[in-house]
Amino acid sequence: MADRYLLAADVGGTRATLVLGTAGPSPRITLQHVYASQEFRSLGDIVADFVSRPEVAVHHSAIAAACFAVAGPVAANASTLTNLGWRTDGAALARDFRLPSVSLVNDFSAAAMGLAALGPQDLVTLQAGEAVAGGTRLVVGAGTGLGVGLLTWHDDGYRAHPSEGGHSDFAPADEPQDKLLGYLRRTFGRVSYERVVSGPGLMRIFSFLQDTGAGMPSKPLLDAANQRSDMAELIAEFALARLDPLAVRALDLFISVYGAFAGNMALAALARGGVYISGGIAPKIVSRLKDGAFMRAFTSKGRYSDLLTTLPVHVVMNAQTGLLGALLGAARQAGSGPAPAR
């Protein structure tokens, strides 16, 4: 029997990663390419570039299914990506690129699905907790945006569900956060958690602290900013190395809000199966997530604090979790994938 292949993608506001993988019970990535999302006008333009590459084109006729994880809500196999504004339709992509089928899934549904492909080496535990067999699992992750996904147990394993919890109202937990909310309201009116807990959110926190008299950026940070395009990453790096006091304060505030939000979502889901902190930011700041401030904010829930101390909490260090989830989704769509995760 000739080899069959799968097409999968993880498409976010900053980058889109497309892969070609082998079909089968344990699909494996064979080819991969990363694109800067904002350099393209649509997901279709990125797919066109990928499938036209000679190393992909030679296998085009053998692609059995495609699954694309997209950063936005999905309905009727279509989505408008939240931070890009692209309108994407799975059926249209299948037709345009002569693919048997294309399914779109929310990116954090894919991240939840991808947990099945991870091993112990892919996780850093913040709180061991007491995992309940078959308990709901929660995935929360900050990057360009703030994503949430769920896994609930059914008779034959876990099923993934999307959520847009990252767009729920930001609820300050103390006076500095009250002031941050007031500051952001002047720009946004309504302020969601994503406006705070994301790469752009870290930059907003930094600006808030500067504008309200908490300090000024150091000269080394300003010099580095002239050479770098990703200011959020730069703030995090200077904070982790303790090279800039304002960056340290910004990251401290960011982590407190991040932990509180993850705790809110854990309460909403009653995530007795575990909480997984994913996304692009967490692995880069894991040393700070381990120092206790994140978990103090996570568990500081009044009468439910004791309950939250029982939930396992892990940082997902594998940056390809969503991509692996999309690949598993394509495999199931092609009829060759594994059973739902247990």
Instruction: Give per-residue pLDDT as tens, 40-80.
Output: 999 999 999 999 999 999 999 999 999 999 999 999 999 99
pLDDT at 198 over 60: yes
Say if residues 107 and 10 touch (Cβ distance below 8 Å): yes
Question: Considering the chain, what is the average pLDDT of its residues?
Answer: 94
Read off the DSSP letter of residue 146.
E
Residues 6+ apart with CB under 8 A from 71: 11, 12, 13, 81, 82, 83, 84, 106, 107, 144, 145, 147
Confidence band for 288, pLDDT divided at 50, 70 and 90:
very high
Q: Which CATH number fits domain 5-114+320-333: 1.10.3720.10, 3.30.420.40, 3.40.190.10, 1.10.260.40?
A: 3.30.420.40
What does the pLDDT look like over 88-119, one tens digit per residue? Answer: 999 999 999 999 999 999 999 999 999 999 99
Whole-number Cα distances in Å, 40 to 20, 60, 89 = 20, 22, 16
Q: What average pLDDT does the segment 293-318 reach?
A: 98
**C-alpha to C-alpha distance for 97 and 122, rounded to whole angstroms:** 34
In the prediction, which pLDDT does 286 show?
A: 97
Q: What average pLDDT does the segment 7-28 reach?
A: 90
Do the domains at 5-114+320-333 and 166-316 have one common CATH topology?
no
Nearest Cα neighbor of 102 from 63, 50, 133 is 63
Q: What average pLDDT does the segment 23-45 reach?
A: 91
Both tokens of 197, joined, read 């807990």
In the prediction, which pLDDT does 83 show?
A: 85
pLDDT at 339 over 60: no
**C-alpha to C-alpha distance for 149 and 321, rounded to whole angstroms:** 12
Residues 6+ apart with CB under 8 A from 297: 173, 255, 256, 257, 258, 259, 260, 263
pLDDT at 1 over 70: no
Determine if the pTM surpasses 0.85. Answer: yes
The fold adopted by the segment(s) 166-316 is: Hexokinase; domain 1 (3.40.367)
What does the pLDDT look like over 143-190, one tens digit per residue? Answer: 999 999 999 999 888 999 999 999 999 999 999 999 999 999 999 999
**How many of the other CB atoms lie within 10 Å of CB of 98?**
10
**C-alpha to C-alpha distance for 305 and 136, rounded to whole angstroms:** 18
pLDDT at 335 over 90: no
Confidence band for 304, pLDDT divided at 50, 70 and 90:
very high
Residues 6+ apart with CB under 8 A from 163: 106, 108, 148, 149, 150, 265
In the prediction, which pLDDT does 24 show?
A: 78
pLDDT at 37 over 90: yes
Indicate the domain borders of the chain: 5-114+320-333, 166-316
**C-alpha to C-alpha distance for 19 and 86, rounded to whole angstroms:** 20
CA 148 vs. chain centroid, Å, equals 8
Say if residues 65 and 27 touch (Cβ distance below 8 Å): no
The string of DSSP letters for 164-207 reads: -GGGSBP---SHHHHHHHHHHHHHHSS-BGGGTSSHHHHHHHHH
Say if residues 305 and 109 touch (Cβ distance below 8 Å): no
